[in-house]
Structure 1
Amino acid sequence: MSPRAVPATTVARLPIYLRALDGLAADGVETTSSGQLAALAGVGPAQLRRDLSFLGSHGTRGVGYDVEHLQVQVAAALGLTGDLAVVIVGIGNLGHALANYVAVAGKGFRVAALVDAGASVVGSTVAGLVVEHDRDLVQIVRRGEVRLAVLATPADVAQELCDRLVAAGVTGILTFVPRVLTVPAGVDVRSVDLATELQILAFHERRKTSARALAGRP
């Protein structure tokens, strides 16, 4: 792999390239052109070639990219060469769905533990795992050598749980909680706020509606 630093924008596109490659492999495609792969990923061919060059992959002129080889390269760049242990904290409707998704389709990931504080949830079985109490969170994380966590809890307890996860050794957190989490240097947080995304879409829809009205179109 290239020693050059990979830009964050390129990293964000790598999972899209991997998904496209997985689809091609499932269809029995052995080689693909930059144009075909770029179209599947929704980017321009030049952008795709530039992104893949950071991985040391330049394809073969007149042939293109070997799908299986490129799958391995992109997966390795994303750190998906093993079975990354993940703990999911908050097993409501969303946490329940996430646990089942990762268990079935989470390539490169493994749900190591499920955690909640609700008396009606703790002790139940979800995705083949018994939900454990959050009072044991630090021990659960250390027992499973977990480095990644998913937070799907109420907002008022999210920061406290985040602090405990970090103290236990978690260095990457995916949060579905609608609040900003404060973490120390060296801990990465990715936030998915469904309400915010819908509000952004609503903003763009309002602008399109206004533009149509000004143009006299329905």
Structure 2
Amino acid sequence: MKGISKATIDRLPLYFRALRMAQDEGLDVMSSEELGRRLEITPEQIRKDLASFGQFGKKGVGYYVNELKRSISNILGLDNHWNMAIIGIGHLGSALANHQSFISLGFNLVALFDQDPTIVGQTVNHVKVEDISIMEEKIKELNIHIGIITVPGQFAQEIADRLVKAKIRGIWNFAPIRMKVPDTMHIVNEDLSIGLSCLSYHITRKPR
């Protein structure tokens, strides 16, 4: 949606997660104050963020947990049940393939690809690892929307190019490079080394 800041959009998954936890706790209603307390976000910011997408909750009562959770799920597009593939089934790729929260969020892991003959044919979380040579064919056959790249950096751009040509909808990149993709392709980069380096910076300067 135009006019909505990236910071607001980035907070929506936090609200969704907190509401899921509240739902698991059996809570039916939650105030913006309580939601803010759990997330360390001001109630004013929460109300402002949600107002960007419509009217939610009832004044003097709060937000109905199930209703708001469904609304945020719809805003995030989680109801689309996106089909995903992981390319590169090393330690990280295998760990992601076994990550159970994908299913609970509505993402479907339907394919795994690798070029290592000792890995191809294995099964990870009930999904067979296919040879990367047939990736484009499988993307079309299985209607795959999201490609998750966990290959070494020197191979990542080639994989991204193939995913773009296969008309994938989005890329989640864990390779330590910045991809060159068309403006029409949405890509999210996750660089684990940057996160650890930032953590190292902060704990180095924190008094013991």
Q: TM-score, length-normalised on structure 2?
A: 0.94
Q: How well do the aligned residues superpose, as a CA RMSD in angstroms?
A: 1.6
- Structure 2 contact 121–130 (Cα < 8 Å) conserved: yes
Matched residues in 1 for 2:157 and 2:163: separation?
10
Offset at 1:206? 3.1
Residue identity matched to 2:148 = V
Matched, 1:19 2:14: no
Larger CA Rg, structure 1 vs 2: 1
Residues 12-52 of structure 1: per-residue CA shift (max 9 Å, x gap): 11111000000000111000000111122221111111111
Residues 175-212 of structure 1: per-residue CA shift (max 9 Å, x gap): 11111111001111111111111111222233335xxx
Q: Which moved more, 1:192-201 or 1:154-163?
A: 192-201
Matched residues in 2 for 1:104 and 1:6: separation?
26
Report 1:176-215 matches (<5 A).
176-209=174-207
Matched residues in 1 for 2:104 and 2:67: separation?
20
Matched residues in 2 for 1:80 and 1:18: separation?
11
Residues 106-133 of structure 1: per-residue CA shift (max 9 Å, x gap): 4110001111111111000111111001
Evaluate the alpha carbon distance shift between residue 66 and residue 22 of structure 1 in structure 2; reply closer, same or farther with a 3 A threshold. Answer: same
- Which structure 2 residue ranges, 5 or more long, are not aligned? none
1:45 to 43, 57, 62: 43
Offset at 1:155? 0.8
1:168 to 166, 169, 182: 166
Residues 151-189 of structure 1: per-residue CA shift (max 9 Å, x gap): 111111000000000110112111111111110011111
Matched residues in 2 for 1:37 and 1:66: separation?
12
Matched residues in 1 for 2:42 and 2:101: separation?
33
Q: Secondary structure at the match of 2:94?
A: helix
Tell me how many residue pairs correspond in the alignment. Answer: 208
Q: Percent identity?
A: 34
Matched residues in 2 for 1:169 and 1:86: separation?
13
- Structure 2 contact 112–130 (Cα < 8 Å) conserved: yes
Q: Which moved more, 1:119-128 or 1:3-12?
A: 3-12
Matched residues in 1 for 2:56 and 2:47: separation?
7
Instruction: After the TM superposition, list the runs of 4 or more consecutive aligned residues in structure 1 that deviate by more than 6 angstroms.
Output: none
- Which structure 1 residue ranges, 5 or more long, are not aligned? 210-217
1:34 to 32, 35, 38: 32
Matched residues in 2 for 1:188 and 1:52: separation?
23
Report 1:1-218 matches (<5 A).
5-102=3-100, 105-209=103-207
Residue identity matched to 2:121 = G
